Every structure is written in structure tokens, then in C-alpha cells.
Amino acid sequence: MLSAQALSDLVKRGESERVEFKESAQGNKVIRRAICAFANDLSDSGQPGVIVLGLRDDCSCADLTIDDKLLSLLGGFRSDGKIMPFPIMSVERRKIGECDVAVIEVEPSINTPHRVDGRCWVRVGASLAQATREEERRLAEKRISLDLPFDSRELQGSTIADLDSWYFERFYLPSAVSQEVLEENDRSPLEQLQALRFLGRSGSPNPAALLTLAHEPRDFFPFFHIQFLRFEGEEMTDPIRSQYEVSGRLIEQLEEITRLLKANVESPMLIEAGAKHQVRYDFPPLALTQVVYNAVMHRTYEANSPIRVYWYRDRVEVSSPGGLHGGVTEHNLGKPGATSYRNPLVAEVMKNAGFAERFGVGLQMAQSALRRNGSPPLKFDIDANFVSATIRIRA
């Protein structure tokens, strides 16, 4: 965070290209747009932007109560899925003169353009504005490929011709960009791909683009599929009841594995609970889908192994290639706040397509579904090359 002196000096100059004042936290949409604009850093200043809550435009105190609830609300803007990709930001309670304030400090991003609900926002002087076509092009061009995650680096040897433009325009684009924006501009498919960060600086697609839009993603990632096996018993040596190889594009795989998991859940049991009926499953569908979605989102796509879903009589095991990433450890895996994205652009695609309601809560949703169902909690097995989650049958 900025030092007390640096923050005070910025605030004294009033609202500017780097500073926004807000009297309160009302109008969450405007705060998200300001975060988005500071992350985009259209002027390429390389300096953080600051949103100060609790100050009026004349720098007088707005007497806003700065409590943990407010700080938690503001911190949640980072990963609630409204701003894509995730901004790098921090939230802190500070004091400016006699005023208690909450300060959101937003770092300039190299992974631009950022959007709020499909719209790109920039800072023009002390004002917020929706980015023009030319401004979006500039934001797309300033990405630095070598500093990006694997899924956002252009893949040498691939070309635009490897992408299915019809599928992109018909299916993915409407989920990623608001209908109003699509109707307002006449961007070419190439410009649209660039704006959604699917192309590198030289114009080649990145892995996220190929996984989402390629005619055949496995031409580039041979192990990009989900292996589903259902066994009659409790051992891998028992007879196989059914087996499937779920392949295709990213969204197609997610749709197919969702249908497959739900089709294999045994008929629910109705339990009398006073005047209500409670439904109990052998394996709750929400837990199954969230664990598999988590595996798809966080796997290592360079690995020589698919995701494995092995369904036994007493348990379902989901194994994802690649060890834990970033700040996630075996001690905090699946707990609130333990989120580190190996594939942030893949995560964004899943969010746009409706397979991630919010970020960082998939495993928590699975654990909650298991508790409500009366099932044992998830059990994790972790090594350097795999993360496996086991869902045990309800007793």
C-alpha cells in the first residue's frame, strides 16, 4: 500500500487520473468500474490508482463507518466474477487527516483489457468512461506475453485459422460481451479476439483460445479430455460398468461431464423431516460437479495426463494433473481465501459460460452440499504431479 505521506499527497490534489473519492459504498457498480479503469491504466502510467471511501469531493469527512463488514465487501470485488480478469488490489482501513476512510489500491495490469460485466472502462482525467474501439486496441496491445500465465501466452505454431470463427461468434462471444456492446460497435472478429485476450502480440492464439475455440483442441493438447470410469465394486480391478472419454472444446466438455455426472447419481431418497421432505443422494450432484469444474479450472494443461473421474460403489475419485499452485497449500485447500489461479483466462471462460458462479468458492460449495446431504467431507490426496479429491457415499 502507499505510504501515509504518499496517500495524503495524492488526496490533496483531489480527484484525478489516479484518485477517485466516494462518500459511501453505495453504488457497487461504479466502484467496480473505477477498479477496472485503474487496472487498465490507459495512460500507461505504471502507478497504482486509489479509490478513497469516506471522503466528499471537497476532501471533507463523510463520516462513513469503516468496519470489517465494509472491508470484506470491498475486498470481495476482486474475485466475485464481475471484474474480469481479476485485478490486483488491496483494501485497507486508513486515516487521512481527521477522516477514517477505506482505501482500495489498484495496481496497473499487464493482462488488459479488464471488463465489468462485459464492458471495458478507462480513466479519462478525473472521469470514468467506457473504452472506445481504439482504446481497447491499445489495451490489448500492451500485454507482455512473457509475464502472463501459461493459458494467456501465445502458442507458437498456431494461427487464427485453427479457431472456429463461427463457434466464437455464435456461442462464446455473446456470453463474454454484453449485448449492448455488441450492438454498438462493428469490431472485426480479429479485433474481438484481441479484446478478449485470446491473441498474443504477434497475433497467434494462446492456449485458452485453443481450448475454447479450436476446431480440435487435442491437436495442441493431446491429453485435454476427461476419462470417466464407473466400476461395479470398490476396487480398480473390479469389472467396469461404463466408461466414457469426454472430449471436445472446453465448454462442450463441461456440458457433457455435467450431464454424465447427473445421469450416474442414484435416485434420491426422500426423508421425512417434520412437514418437509429432505432429499438425500448417494453422491450430491452439486458436490460432484463443483469438484470436477475445479479440476478443469486448475489443472496443468501441459501435462501428459487427462482428468480422471473414477466412480466406485462407495466413492468417487477426481484426479487433476498438476500439483497445488501459488499460495494454496494442503492445509488451506478448499478454505475461504485460499485461491490462486493457474489458468485465469480459462477460469474467465468458465465464468462467462456459466460454470463458475463466483470464484474461489467451488470447493466450499462442494463441502456445503456434502454436509447438507449427510455425507462425509471431501478428502484430498496431494503430490507434486496430481491433486485428487474423494467424495464418499452417504452412509
Cα–Cα distance for residue pair 72/66, rounded to 1 Å: 11
**Contact indicator for 175, 368 with CB cutoff of 8 Å:** no
Smallest Cα–Cα separation from 131: which of 85, 186, 195, 179?
Answer: 195
**Contact indicator for 206, 199 with CB cutoff of 8 Å:** yes
What's the CATH fold of domain 226-392? Answer: Heat Shock Protein 90 (3.30.565)
Q: What is the pLDDT of residue 221?
A: 95
Q: What is the pLDDT of residue 85?
A: 86
**Contact indicator for 199, 161 with CB cutoff of 8 Å:** no
**Contact indicator for 102, 71 with CB cutoff of 8 Å:** yes
Smallest Cα–Cα separation from 125: which of 23, 236, 36, 18?
Answer: 18
Q: Is 46 exposed, middle or buried (0-12, 13-18, 19+ CB in 10 A)?
A: exposed
Mean pLDDT by 10 residues, the chain (395 residues): 87 90 88 95 92 91 93 89 89 92 93 89 93 86 70 91 95 88 80 91 92 96 97 96 97 97 83 68 95 94 93 97 78 67 90 82 91 94 91 93
User: Which grid cell sits at 35?
Assistant: 477498479
Burial pattern 321-337, b for ≥16 Cβ within 10 A else e, equals bbebbeebeeeeebeee
Q: Which long-range contacts (CB under 8 A, 24 or more apart) does 246-253 make?
A: 247/218, 248/217, 249/167, 249/211, 249/212, 249/213, 249/214, 249/217, 250/211, 250/212, 250/217, 250/296, 250/346, 250/349, 250/350, 251/171, 251/172, 251/212, 251/349, 251/353, 251/355, 253/225, 253/226, 253/296
User: Which grid cell sits at 305?
Assistant: 495426463
Examine domains 4-128 and 226-392 and report if their fold is the same: no
Q: What is the pLDDT of residue 178?
A: 82
**Contact indicator for 298, 291 with CB cutoff of 8 Å:** no
Where are the domains positioned within the chain?
4-128, 143-219, 226-392
**Contact indicator for 108, 46 with CB cutoff of 8 Å:** yes
Q: What is the pLDDT of residue 103?
A: 96
**Contact indicator for 64, 53 with CB cutoff of 8 Å:** yes
Cα–Cα distance for residue pair 260/244, rounded to 1 Å: 9
- Phi and psi at residue 207, to the nearest 5°: -55, -40
- Phi and psi at residue 52, to the nearest 5°: -110, 115
Q: What is the pLDDT of residue 270?
A: 67
What's the CATH fold of domain 4-128? Answer: 3.30.950
Q: Is the peptide bond before 113 cis (omega within 30 degrees of 0)?
A: yes
